[in-house]
Every structure is written in structure tokens, then in C-alpha cells.
């Protein structure tokens, strides 16, 4: 699985350790869900301004959000192709609210987005709790030294 990281923000400095952490979380999420597919996932780190535009254009929702993810349908079901956008403005504001570090919040969102790509939904309280528990399990299973 190829994981691309595209940086269109300046809140989080993306160095090799952060990039490696993002990729580890992505691959761990895929493996825990039994996904052994080939393919490519692009994770784009953006501002609230950019994610707000994406949210309106593709989902017809007003305002910014934390994460937007799209699974790109393929005629070859062996490959998984996905596009993910994560707002680092929201990463920072939510890390203060939830009393965590911005990097831990970022990794949490990476797991969340990939779970969405794999078919999980958080549109009810029960489904939201299930996703949250899975995200925590994934993030806790990876011991990153940042």
C-alpha cells in the first residue's frame, strides 16, 4: 500500500518522524481491519479554509470539519484508492479541548479517516462509539517516539 502525504498547511511541521507516524497509523488501521489490498491513499493536511471549501463542494455542508475521506471506486477490487483531507487547524483546536497533543490528535484523525474509507460510519451514537474505540486501539498499539 502506498501512502502519500501532501502538506498544504503550516501548523504542523512535517518531518520524517511525523510522516512515518502517519504512515504507521494508516497501515496499522488497514491491517487491523483485515485489509491487505494493494493501492494508494493520499492524506492531505490542510487548513480550515481549504477543508471548508471541500466540505461545501463535495458534501454540500457549510463550514469546516476535521476530516473528509473519499474511497475512489475501482473496477479492480484488489486495489484501494482513497483521498483524505485533514484540517490541522481543527487538529490544534481539538487537541486543546481533549487535552492531548496535536500529533496524537492528527494520528487519531488518520485512523478515523481510513475507517471511513473502509466503510465505517459515525452517523449514530453507537457507531461513533465503535469508531472511537477502534481509533484508540489503533493509536495505542503504535508506540511512536516523537
Structural domain contains residue 73: yes
CATH number of residue 137's parent domain: 3.40.390.30
Q: What is the pLDDT of residue 142?
A: 80
Residue from 41, 38, 36 nearest 3 by CA: 41
Q: What is the pLDDT of residue 51?
A: 97
Q: What is the pLDDT of residue 140?
A: 86
Q: What is the pLDDT of residue 6?
A: 97
Q: What is the pLDDT of residue 130?
A: 94
C-alpha cell of residue 53: 471549501
Structural domain contains residue 85: yes
How many domains would you assign to the chain?
1
The model's pTM: 0.91
Domain extent, residue 56, equals 2-141
Structural domain contains residue 146: no
Structural domain contains residue 66: yes
Q: What is the pLDDT of residue 73?
A: 83
Which residue(s) pair with 41 in the sheet?
A: 3, 82
Q: What is the pLDDT of residue 74?
A: 77
Instruction: Please state, in angstroms and rounded to a whole number, the distance separating the CA atoms of residues 80 and 38.
Output: 6
Show the low-confidence residues of the chain (pLDDT under 70). 36-37, 76-77, 143-146
Write the pLDDT tens digit of every residue in 18-42.
999 999 999 999 987 777 668 899 9
Residue from 33, 128, 20, 21 nearest 71 by CA: 33
Q: What is the pLDDT of residue 103?
A: 93
C-alpha cell of residue 62: 457549510
Hey, how many other C-beta atoms are within 10 angstroms of the C-beta on 38?
11
Amino acid at each position: 500500500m502506498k501512502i502519500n502525504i501532501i502538506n498544504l498547511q503550516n501548523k504542523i511541521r512535517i518531518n520524517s518522524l511525523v510522516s512515518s507516524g502517519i504512515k504507521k497509523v494508516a497501515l496499522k488501521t488497514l491491517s487491523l481491519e483485515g485489509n491487505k489490498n494493494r493501492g494508494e491513499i493520499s492524506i492531505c493536511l490542510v487548513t480550515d479554509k481549504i477543508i471548508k471549501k471541500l466540505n461545501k463542494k463535495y458534501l454540500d455542508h457549510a463550514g469546516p470539519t476535521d476530516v473528509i475521506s473519499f474511497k475512489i471506486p475501482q473496477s479492480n477490487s484488489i486495489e484501494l484508492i482513497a483521498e483524505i483531507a485533514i484540517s490541522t487547524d481543527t487538529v490544534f483546536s481539538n487537541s486543546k479541548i481533549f487535552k492531548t497533543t496535536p500529533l496524537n490528535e492528527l494520528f487519531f484523525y488518520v485512523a478515523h479517516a481510513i475507517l471511513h474509507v473502509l466503510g465505517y460510519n459515525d452517523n449514530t451514537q453507537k457507531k461513533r462509539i465503535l469508531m472511537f474505540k477502534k481509533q484508540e486501539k489503533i493509536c495505542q498499539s503504535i508506540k511512536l517516539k516523537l
